[in-house]
Amino acid sequence: IGHKQRHKGAKRVDRESNIGKQVDRLLAKAIVELAQSFEAGSIVLPDLTHIREMVEAEVNERAQAHIPDFVAGQKQYAKAYRTQVNRWSYQILQTAISSKAEQTGIAIEVTQQGYAGSQTDKARDMALRAFEERKDDAKTSKSAQTVS
């Protein structure tokens, strides 16, 4: 929208925001389709309560790996990487995944994600943690039924 159009009351379209929403929808669709292809009963997502700490730990780990023994370079790398990562809205993506999963009958489980290790290690650990939590919930539920 041009300058004259704005003065006439035309609304400005935030293209970056719309592109981000579209990317979130496409990612959510792909994730749910992948879960369906493996006949998964649930999708495990990270608890975002401590997202800043997780991102900071990942940024520092990447900086040290890319530029070992050069602290100033690590700080520059971390700042650039942090700027990219902070533009992404994890909560909006999780909402899109949850919505799409609900439409297909796939449950969403939320659990803590580790701070260190590769993405594969973190994903494996989250899946195992969700499985253990599910087992514990089943035991608690079963013992509660026995008592009543």
Instruction: Quickly list DSSP for 117-146.
Output: S-HHHHHHHHHHHHHHHHHHHHHHHHHHHH
pTM here is: 0.65
The arithmetic mean of pLDDT across residues 47-60, rounded, is 79
Confidence of residue 80 (pLDDT cuts 50, 70, 90): confident
pLDDT-wise least confident of 11-25, 51-65, 115-129: 11-25
Q: How far apart are CA 81 and CA 76, in angstroms?
A: 9
Identify the pLDDT of residue 57: 81
**How does residue 147 score in pLDDT terms, banded at 50, 70 and 90?**
low
Query: In terms of Cα–Cα distance, which of 102, 105, 121 is closest to 113?
Result: 121
Q: What pLDDT, on the 0 to 100 scale, is given for residue 6?
A: 55
